[in-house]
Amino acid sequence: MATLIAAKDSSPIEDAETIKKACKGLGTDETALVSILAHRNEAQRKLVRLAYEEIYHQDLIQQLKSELSGNFERAICFWTMGPAERDAALINEALKKATPDYKVIIEIACTRTSEELLAVKRSYQFLYKHCLEEDVASQTIVISTYRYEGSEFDESMAHSEANTLHHLIEKKAFNDDEIIRILSTRSKEQLCVTFNTFRNIYGTTITKGLFASPTDDDEYLGAMRTIIRCIKNPQRYLAKVLWQAMSDLATEDDVLSRVIITRAEKDLNEINDLYFKRNNVTIHDSVARKTWGNYKTFLLALLGNNNN
């Protein structure tokens, strides 16, 4: 369930005019920007952006980038983007780092539907004139748009592939194409059944076998564990990611805003429930204590009334 509290009635033209007024003069009225953009859903934000470009012949996001700075600028610009454009930009940003942040790519690949990923691929190619699969190939991460999204599963296949995965893990054949094929093409429902079957047969979780010895590629195995955790229970995974980010905001602040921004219109309520169960504090309270200024006001607005 979403946490965003969007305005029931809004005028994109009036919103565009108010934003333009907030950006005029020596200072920027950041409070006015938050009051509008933090209370508009995806469809409403799209209309505001279109209205702004039609009236002022300028892209709203470029306007915001020129007026704002720091964490607040980054957060509000990503929020104003459409989901596919945002995901494409997040992946591009992750790949440009000195050490590519594979966890961002995996998070997107494993928590979006096939249709959503197809839109991300198209947006990435439009924005960066590159093929997404080619750019992530060096990370051995397959962003598949061919997963079946239904709830059906095959128990005999789960049993067979649990045995296959166990055999390859026991051999430490972590780079075997069969592991990649299973993880990247099977439906999420099928994989969850396979992971449960693995645990029932062998008395341990599949992730426990994916820890490195001194001769193994720890980064690659970390990526594999992240894929499995994201597929098994994305809300639990994201709740843990948020807690880790809260513990080290000096280096992980981008993680905090990314999770809130990308999940506020989806399942942030469920993530908050798991976060509270794990840490005995809400995301709202953690954000209120550890962030500040209009950045804090913006994130708290996306969290809605989620304070219990």
Nearest to 154 by CA among 133, 182, 114: 182
Predicted confidence (pLDDT) at residue 144 exceeds the cutoff of 80: no
With tokens 């991460």, the residue in question is 141
For residue 121, give the amino acid letter: K
Burial of 42 (0-12, 13-18, 19+ CB in 10 A): middle
What Rg do the C-alpha atoms of the chain give, in angstroms?
A: 21
Under 8 Å between Cβ of 109 and 97: no
Instruction: Please tell me the predicted confidence (pLDDT) of residue 223.
Output: 86
Predicted confidence (pLDDT) at residue 213 exceeds the cutoff of 70: no
Supply the DSSP symbol for 27: S
For residue 20, give the amino acid letter: K
Higher-scoring residue by pLDDT: 286, 102 = 286
* Cα–Cα dist 121/134, whole Å: 11
Instruction: Please tell me the predicted confidence (pLDDT) of residue 214.
Output: 56
* Cα–Cα dist 241/194, whole Å: 24
Residue 125, CA atoms < 13 Å, CB-side half-sphere? 9
Predicted confidence (pLDDT) at residue 225 exceeds the cutoff of 60: yes
Over the stretch 239-284, which tens digit does the pLDDT of each residue have? Answer: 999 999 999 988 899 999 999 999 999 999 999 999 999 999 999 9
**% of the chain surpassing 70 pLDDT:** 94
- Predicted TM-score of the model (pTM): 0.93
Q: What angle is formed at CA 240 by the lines to CA 235 and CA 244, rounded to 5 degrees? A: 145
Q: How large is the average pLDDT for residues 106-127?
A: 94
Predicted confidence (pLDDT) at residue 198 exceeds the cutoff of 80: yes
* Cα–Cα dist 138/243, whole Å: 29
Burial of 19 (0-12, 13-18, 19+ CB in 10 A): buried
What Cα–Cα distance (Å) separates residue 1 from each residue in 9, 41, 83, 303?
Answer: 21, 14, 17, 11
Under 8 Å between Cβ of 61 and 75: no
Predicted confidence (pLDDT) at residue 170 exceeds the cutoff of 90: yes
Instruction: Please count the residues of the chain.
Output: 308
* Cα–Cα dist 122/130, whole Å: 10
